[in-house]
A = this chain, B = another copy of it.
Amino acid sequence: MAAILFQSPNPYRNLNTRAYKTKVSRNENLAKLQAGYLFPEIARRRAAHMLKYPDAQVISLGIGDTTEPIPEVITSAMSKRSYALSTVDGYSGYGAEQGAKQLRAAIASTYYADLGIEEDDIFVSDGAKSDISRLQVLFGSNVTMAVQDPSYPAYVDSSVILGQTGQFQKDVEKYGNIEYMRCTPENGFFPDLSTVRRTDIIFFCSPNNPTGYAASREQLTRIVQFAKENGSIIVYDSAYAMYVSDDSPRSIFEIPGAKEVALEVSSFSKYAGFTGVRLGWTAIPKDLLYSDGFPLAKDFNRIVCTCFNGASNIAQAGGLACVSAEGIKAKTHHTFGSTFLAGSWDVFSEILEKTHVVTTPGSGFGPGGEGFVRVSAFGHRENVLEACRRFKQLYK
């Protein structure tokens, strides 16, 4: 008999080859995935390190997690909504799958004023990661896709899971059938579109995770033009838009014509420290059409109604407070930015061992990340400064 096929023995160590097995075949797309999803793997290594050095002052600049308390104007709105659920007048059951009308309207007017995005173009979600996956379910297995390289791993992994890709090719560290748009210091972290193959879908995140680079208006105009020429759809991830401090666009819809070729995924996670509260949205213009003229938003609406039951009403109350005048004034300002240092998993381990700082190996974001580690600058200011001191000590 063949040995059982999985390698990680714990917590499944008691299984043996004589165990009962169903006759259901494992989804072959899942088998294509390499190692664990990046961030749980880092959390695992961090936990192991803390076991090994229980007294070390570990600083976590790995996962780009928010650290600062949420302004009270927002938490008190959530607190009140919670309490109200104990009253006859304040109780409510199922909400609209697409989100509360008032919140959809507020998102449209706050983030898309004069950009032609309307209340019913907004789909409120439990966060960008969930919506990326719902978008992949929408597109199905017969589309081709392009990603910035390096990029947030959920784009590629969800594409693999949905069966859009070929096998992982170890020699080039890429999945077959995905177009990796290389973003390097040499091209200013914006891809050379003249070398990019046409795909159905283009994932594009700006400011980019992990490089931190925000594309300029001229660059975004080029990518919209590129999509239009190719008949592609851009999935624009603007989760970090609030960190734009120059005149770079905060929404793809600032670019003329973008509504015919792009949709936008965004999130309250970094706007308001909502990584644990869970709230985001996707904006899909009515002008975005499939090749047969069918509006993409109509199918996404069907996905949302069938596969989702709306974001928590308490989180939505918090979202509404975020975009109120008071909420915008009180907004938590998290530091953002990520620094790329040379190295990858080996350097990750060296940094962790010698400085007790958790980073993220660049290779986790795609082959273009090899040779870098990402140091998230989310974190308490004093921790970021302390980490810098330790790096200087290590690499002096």
Contacts and interface: CB of A to CB of B under 8 A. Distances in A.
Given A76-B83, A231-B22, A36 B305 contact: yes
Interface stretch (A27-35, A107-115, A349-357): A27-35
Contact of A286 (B15, B93, B315): B15
Contact of A21 (B39, B72, B290): B290
Interface string A148-163: 0000001001100111
Interface stretch (A135-143, A247-255, A362-370): A135-143
A219 interface: no
A187 interface: no
A142 B25 contact: yes
B293 A30 contact: no
Copies in the complex: 2
A395 interface: no
Contact-residue size bin, chain A (C-beta under 8 Å from the other chain): 35 or more
A258 to B, nearest CB: 12
Interface in A292-313: 292-295, 298-299, 302-303, 305-313
Interface stretch (A84-92, A178-186, A386-394): A84-92
Interface in A116-156: 120, 126-127, 129-130, 132-133, 137-143, 154
B22 A261 contact: yes
B22 A291 contact: yes
**Residue in A93, A140, A313 with the greatest tally of chain B CB atoms within 10 Å:** A93
14 contacts: A5-B293, A26-B290, A27-B139, A28-B140, A37-B302, A65-B94, A78-B82, A78-B85, A85-B276, A126-B312, A132-B307, A158-B307, A161-B307, A277-B313
